[in-house]
Amino acid sequence: MTDKERTVLDCIRRPDCCGGLEELIKSLDHFTSLDIAKLDEYLDRFGERSLVQRTGFILDYLKDRIRVPGEYMNDLKSRVGSRVYYLTPDMKPGNSKLNKTWNVFVPRNIEEVARFV
């Protein structure tokens, strides 16, 4: 069995399995809240810093839609490492820009990708 918090992380880990970045953002836009304790428990279980950083970026990007406590966002920021990751595995270096808050390369056209949000 799964729940929405586990599904969110699965989709962030493997956006290719949920239709890509555009579909991921579109799907998350329908959530108004997440159980932060569950989400954090799953993040700890996965034990992947890249997932923490990518999740932080996505939650930050959708902060006007998904209600995530500021304290939790600060906690995620405190876990950001010096290593830089790509938001999705299929991204190309020339088509991305670095989000320094999360140390994540995101598409240069992220606003276009998420135009419906």
pLDDT tens, residue order, the chain (117 aa): 678 999 999 999 999 888 888 888 888 878 888 999 999 999 999 999 999 999 999 999 988 888 899 999 999 999 999 999 999 988 878 889 999 999 999 988 877 666 555
How far apart CA 100 and CA 67 sit, in angstroms, is: 22
Q: What is the pTM of this model?
A: 0.90
Give the number of other CB atoms < 10 A from CB of residue 1. Answer: 3
- Alpha carbons within 13 angstroms on the beta-carbon side of residue 2 total 8
The reported pLDDT for the residue numbered 91 is 83
Domain positions in the chain: 4-113
Q: Which amino acid is at 105?
A: F
Beta carbons of 115 and 26 less than 8 angstroms apart: no
The reported pLDDT for the residue numbered 62 is 87
> What residues have CB less than 8 Å from 71, skipping those under 6 apart?
none
Q: Which H, E and C letters describe 19-84, residue by residue?
A: CCHHHHHHHHCCCCECCHHHHHHHHHHHCCHHHHHHHHHHHHHCCCCCECCHHHHHHHHHCCCCCC
The reported pLDDT for the residue numbered 115 is 59
Give the number of other CB atoms < 10 A from CB of residue 23. Answer: 12
